[in-house]
Amino acid sequence: MSLLLDPPIRQEIEYRAADVPAAVVARALPWNARLWQHGAVRKSVILLALALLWEGAARWQGNDLLLPSFWQTAQAFVSGIASGELLERVQASLSVLLRGYVAGIAAAFVLTALAVSTRIGRDVLETLVAMFNPLPAIALLPLALLWFGLGNGSLVFVIVHAVLWPLALGTYAGFQGVPETLRMAGRNYGLRGLPLVVYILVPAALPSILSGLKIGWAFAWRTLIAAELVFGVSSGKGGLGWYIFQNRNELYTDKVFAGLATVILIGLLVENLAFRALERVTVRRWGMLR
């Protein structure tokens, strides 16, 4: 025992917990901090800043043919919508896009369901993804044109190729990440094969599947616009890519920008409305994604 090394022995004391004022326990944030919590507000500010930057750059550069200003593009966009031409193009593109997207999702689901139920299915999926995922969909377009002719069939084919592999990869990775305990719980209730995939694996892997769907959507858009730029017209009705290409040929640069802006706008809408809403009612609500 030494006084230097041993701590002193002190009196025991019992306290009664004092009341804490409510204002200290929970306090509301000021209104500007609360507003800044909304992602939509922050992103709108970013978009506004980009538009201002664009307007400034266009005015400083002063050549409408090379870089029309934000205002001119907005006018071309509004008149395109008003005349109905732009909407028609959007509709043509979206109908092809959705067909390819849905077909790609179905194919990816079949492939991954086979991959989790059988070993040979897994080998097939891994081999095919390794082979075709690095292959740009647009590189298949000449072949598709040869096989399916100048028409929507070729477009759907390349879109399926663009969607299928990244989605299959993401879904399969998600399936593999499902906790073993959860699988055992499902098997415990007599689930096996397809019901196990549908009732346990798909919801458990939903974060990965959703991110696969987002990547697939972006790839499908890019592929479609690029493919339309290459040939575009089928039965006299071209999509957005064709609209961009045509207007560039005629040097309507503001319309080219309006077409590009439409592609971007649709992308933003789908991301922020469709996918965000899907996430909010599923994985965020379930606490699988913060």
Partner 1 sequence: MNAPVQLLRPPAAGAIAPLLRADGVSLSYSDGARTVRATHDVSFDVYRGDRFVLLGPSGCGKSSLLKAAGGFIAPGAGTITINGARVTGPGPDRIAVFQEFDQLPPWKTVRQNVMFPLLAARRMARKPAEEAADYWIAKVGLDGFADAYPHTLSGGMKQRVAIARALAMQPDVLLMDEPFAALDALTRRKMQEELGRLWEEARFTLLFVTHSIEEALVVGNRILLLSPHPGRVRAELNSHQFGLHSAGSAEFQAAAARIHAMLFEEPAAAPAAGDAEPAWGRRVAAERT
Using CB under 8 A, list all residues that contact partner 1.
Answer: 179, 181-182, 184-191, 195, 199-200, 203-204, 206, 282, 285-288
User: Residue 36 has which token pair?
Assistant: 């800044």
- Of residues 68 and 207, the one with the C-beta less far from partner 1: 207
- Rounded Cα distance, 147 and 234, in Å: 15
**Least distance to partner 1 from the beta carbon of 281, Å?**
11
Q: How far is CA 109 from CA 47, 212, 251, in A?
A: 36, 12, 44
- Of residues 117 and 282, the one with the C-beta less far from partner 1: 282
The runs of H, that is alpha helices, within 62-204 are: 70-83, 85-117, 119-132, 141-148, 152-176, 180-188, 193-196, 202-204
**Least distance to partner 1 from the beta carbon of 172, Å?**
20
- Rounded Cα distance, 124 and 136, in Å: 20
Q: What single DSSP character describes residue 118?
A: -
Angle between helices 152-176 and 119-132 in degrees, nearest 10: 130
- Of residues 124 and 288, the one with the C-beta less far from partner 1: 288
**Least distance to partner 1 from the beta carbon of 104, Å?**
24
- Of residues 106 and 182, the one with the C-beta less far from partner 1: 182
- Of residues 156 and 202, the one with the C-beta less far from partner 1: 202
**Least distance to partner 1 from the beta carbon of 187, Å?**
4
**Least distance to partner 1 from the beta carbon of 121, Å?**
21
Q: What single DSSP character describes residue 139?
A: G
